[in-house]
Amino acid sequence: MELILTAKDIRVEFTGRDVLDIDELEIYDYARIGLVGANGAGKSQLPFLLITIFNEPI
């Protein structure tokens, strides 16, 4: 598998509360990724953040 994304120190905070706190993330091509957590735990924030960062006009 080929490494396609590496990210470090990802932090998202809402109203004084950390909803996403990742020290290091590596994503490989064809890898399956699961995000697990309670309602309101910030699961949707990671894909939203990655789409926002990498959404460049063509």
What's the pLDDT score for residue 55? Answer: 79
Whether pTM > 0.85 for this model: the answer is no
Q: How far apart are CA 41 and CA 26, in angstroms?
A: 21
| pLDDT tens, residue by residue, 4-42 | 989 999 888 888 888 888 999 999 999 998 989 888 788
Name the more confident of 50 and 9. Answer: 9
Q: Are 6 and 31 in contact (CB under 8 A)?
A: no
Boundaries of every domain in the chain: 3-54
DSSP 43: T
23 — phi, psi (to 5°)? -75, -45
pLDDT of 58 > 70? The answer is no
Q: Which residue has the higher pLDDT, 16 or 56?
A: 16
